[in-house]
Amino acid sequence: MNKTTTPAGWPIVKTILVSATILAVIAGCSNNTAAPKPVKITGVNNSQEKKSTVPSEKMKYWDEQRKGTNFMNSTSLPQNYEAAKEQGIEFVRLAPDKWSKNRDFLFNDKADTRNADFLIGSSDQYKGIVEEDFVRLKADLDAAEAKGMKVVVTVLSLPGDRWRQFNGNKNDDRIWNDLEYQNQATEFWKDLATRLKGHPAVIGYNLINEPHPETATGFNDFWTQDYTNWYTKVEHTAADLNALYDSIVKGIRTVDSTTPIIVDSGLYATPWAFKYLKPMDDPNVLYAFHMYEPYEMTSQNKKKGFTYSYPGTVKVGNNQTEKEFNRQALEQFVEPVAKWASDHGVPANRIIASEFGTNRMVQGADQYMADLISIFNEYGWHWAFYAFREDTWDGMDYELGSVKPDWKYWDAIEKGKLPARVKAHNPIWNAIQEDLKK
């Protein structure tokens, strides 16, 4: 979740609360409509594998509905795979670049970020995968395989697109203004796919978590703006998300023709951005969105105070329009995904609600989660809640129920141990677990 972050994005580090998918993203980046036409991506046509025309064996995993979670912790915690398996979780969406070695830039926007970006070395200039980082990732995936867990690998940063929370809490929109970074992003994924394509635990490559080309052109309030009109202005420029995906997918397919690829919709993976997403000419692609709306409600914390509850009225968007949120409103919010899938003949088992959640302290949080899960189930979409045993923001650690964690909880996390879990009445975790056990 990235809204101005992402619950990878909601990752807020214990002592600070960095917003997760902020709807009102800071605008002011240079306009992009004059960007050059996309250029040929270096290496895409070199030694290209035969194009797959039918779903692969790995893609068949997604033929039936899957229910998963997100691991977006500050370090690799392989013991969590066993715990997730015991709870009935079928797959994990993993963001390993949150394990960055140099965490100074979490708190200091003037920190030296050279060679600080996990796997890619530096988002300023990709020069190849960092070997010691890949060793850590491989060990984590091996642990998942040992416990029988499947993994979708995603990234929070790409060249020219450092994750907001590792960038002084500012959007990095360079990739949406300069095609050279897109060439580098293609080369990175091509290199990573070369290494991961045979790993039995890996069941998908999610190319970038919550892309937001819209923010590079001043589009930042999805409650009021016209996606179709906006996309018409940026199509065939560096801000064209479809063009970036086309480039990366073609690059991956030169070395790996079978591993499923997952693409997020735009403006932080909002369902509304499906309006301009183009289906890919590849039988092994799935399409993803995130759901934390209304963000003004789900992102509440102690500092903001718990003003809203679910169901209830919430002020949303830059205009602070009052809207009533209940199950029907949630259905309406994700309806663009259903319409897009119907219009393009994309089956339900190719759609993933790959992040959804709310602060567990919000009144009615259990009903919010239960309503979303029931909606996703009715459509037959895959889903992955955010998050399982989150170690950077206790607000998304649902096994805690509505209990405030004590010092023992944080002490255990700091020592890399598993904190004690709530055994008593826990409505929000029960709402999730009940469906996982079906």
Give pLDDT tens digits for 303-349. Answer: 878 899 999 999 998 889 999 999 999 999 999 999 999 999 999 99
Inside any domain, residue 393: yes
Q: Please answer whether residues 371 and 306 qualify as being in contact, where contact means their C-beta atoms are separated by less than 8 angstroms.
A: no
pLDDT > 70 in the chain, percent = 84
- DSSP-derived letter for residue 262 is E
Q: Model confidence over 365-407: pLDDT tens digits?
A: 999 999 999 999 999 999 999 999 988 888 999 999 988 888 8
pLDDT surpasses 50 at 26: no
Tell me the pairing of strands 261-264 and 202-206. parallel
Q: Please answer whether residues 68 and 93 qualify as being in contact, where contact means their C-beta atoms are separated by less than 8 angstroms.
A: yes
pLDDT value at residue 39: 36
Closest CA to 354 of 434, 291, 412: 291
Place of tokens 């509304």: 272
Inside any domain, residue 396: yes
CATH of the domain at 215: 3.20.20.80
pLDDT surpasses 70 at 43: no
Inside any domain, residue 79: yes
pLDDT value at residue 24: 32
What rounded mean pLDDT belongs to the chain? 86
Inside any domain, residue 22: no
pLDDT value at residue 424: 62
Inside any domain, residue 15: no
pLDDT surpasses 80 at 109: no
Place of tokens 């056990």: 437
pLDDT surpasses 80 at 410: yes
pLDDT value at residue 111: 53
Residue 417: domain span: 59-436
Q: Which range among 54-63, 64-73, 98-107, 208-217 shows the weakest confidence by mean pLDDT?
A: 98-107
pLDDT value at residue 415: 82
- Say whether 181 sits in a helix, a strand or coil: helix
pLDDT surpasses 70 at 225: yes
pLDDT surpasses 60 at 76: yes
Q: Model confidence over 284-301: pLDDT tens digits?
A: 999 999 999 999 999 998
- DSSP-derived letter for residue 33 is T
pLDDT value at residue 7: 46
Residues 6+ apart with CB under 8 A from 182: 38, 41, 160, 175, 238, 243, 244, 247
Domain count, the chain: 1
What tokens does 104 get? 């100074």
Inside any domain, residue 70: yes
DSSP H or E segment with residue 351: strand 351-356
Q: Model confidence over 133-162: pLDDT tens digits?
A: 999 999 999 999 999 999 999 999 999 999
Inside any domain, residue 134: yes
Measured CA to CA, the distance from residue 225 to residue 355 in angstroms comes to 23
Q: Please answer whether residues 321 and 331 qualify as being in contact, where contact means their C-beta atoms are separated by less than 8 angstroms.
A: no
pLDDT value at residue 35: 36
Closest CA to 212 of 160, 164, 165, 269: 269
Distance of CA 396 to the CA centre of its chain: 15
pLDDT surpasses 60 at 49: no
Of 115-119, 239-243, 320-324, which has the strongest mean pLDDT? 239-243
Choice between 203 and 112, residue whose per-residue pLDDT is larger = 203
Inside any domain, residue 297: yes
